[in-house]
Chain A
Amino acid sequence: MPEQGSARPLKREKGTVRKAFLAAFPHTIPILAGFTVLGMSYGVYARAAGFSFWYPVVMAVVIFGGSLEFVAVSMLLGAFAPVQTFLMALMIQARHLFYGISMLERYRGMGWKKLYLIYAMCDETFSINCAVRAPEGVDEGWFMFFVSLLDQCYWISGAAIGAVLGGVIPFSTEGLDFAMTALFVVIFLEQWLKEKKHYTALIGVGGAAACLLLFGADSFMVPAMGCILVLLTAFRKPIERGME
């Protein structure tokens, strides 16, 4: 694919950009709905946990990964534990490694846009950019750029709206923190329904629960992550057979 930009006149470039934006927008409408609602509940949740407007908004911009942002709020409420924070963030975000592997080819030759495409590659953006091809005559790089940018804008504005509302909600927000539990229960259930055998799901729940009993609520996450990796590695053969 030829590189965009420098050699072409500015007018052509503008038309390219507008066309890509118009082609990308309709694909992001379902994400607009989902991110607005989920982003809002995240903003309200962070406010209910006692943080100012800026915390959810800044985290929405710099982290831009829903699951981790919810967990980050609860980690910010606990004691300062940089090693556990970093390891846990790596584990929660590890699935992105596999998005990247799937997009090695697609993001190639995108110039400066590639940096942003990779930075903003959340689950939903990945699923669109991986599955949808830009229509005939629309620049692929700009198309994927706008899918990514629009999704991130939806998430940030959802979080910002929630963060504003969270300060003025007239009823008690006690129990609203369950939104994070419900989010993970739903994702877990989706994973469960996708699998034929449930070894990995059971290793996750069982390993974490066992470590919780052994090490207590404040220090069980690092052992739990280690335990899960060890078990997944030890039982690789039967687990892989179950996946076939």
Chain B
Amino acid sequence: MTLSQRIVTIALCALATVITRFLPFLVFSPQKPTPRYVQYLGKALPAAIFGMLVVYCLKNVSLLSGSHGLPEALAIAVTAGLHLWKRQMLLSIAGGTAAYMLLVQLVF
């Protein structure tokens, strides 16, 4: 990417963020109830989007070649295990990332 393409990319991210934050204040009023479909998406989207983002993070992992996705699978297991055990977001992220760094630098 050229510098101007990078600036456009960052600006689009900022614009999308501003739109999602301001739109409700421009469209809805506290007097009128929010459309049911919008309310539904509000409840249904987050889990789906973060599931999609996990897949996005793993998009370049090849199951058929290289390390067959093993370091990723193990590090995700460490992250999830730590999280289910302690429920401390930062600990789970730090532990999973450290496990992954050790795996790709020393083992695979």
Contact = CB atoms under 8 A, between A and B. Distances in A.
Contacts of B64: none
Given A101-B34, A212-B59, A240-B40, A65 B53 contact: no
B66 interface: no
Contacts of A63: 10, 13-14, 17
A118 B58 contact: no
Interface in A86-138: 86, 89-101, 104-105, 107-108, 114, 118-119, 121
Nearest to B26: A100
Contact of B52 (A86, A95, A207): A207
Nearest to A108: B30
A105 B28 CA distance: 11
A175 B105 contact: yes
Nearest to A243: B43
A182 B97 contact: yes
A92 B47 contact: no
Contact of A232 (B21, B45, B57, B105): B45
Contacts of A107: 25
Is the contact region of chain A dominated by helix, strand, or loop, or is it mixed?
helix
Is the contact region of chain B dominated by helix, strand, or loop, or is it mixed?
helix
B56 A101 contact: no
B102 to A, nearest CB: 8
A228 interface: yes
B28 A104 contact: yes
B90 A38 contact: yes
Interface residues of B, number: 70
Contact of B9 (A72, A93, A204): A72
A75 B16 CA distance: 15
A197 B91 CA distance: 27
A89 B52 contact: no
Interface string B51-70: 11111111110000000000
Contacts of A194: 47
B108 to A, nearest CB: 10
A172 interface: yes
Contacts of B55: 204-205, 208-209, 212, 224
11 contacts: A38-B93, A82-B8, A89-B17, A95-B49, A104-B30, A175-B103, A186-B93, A192-B47, A204-B51, A224-B52, A236-B37
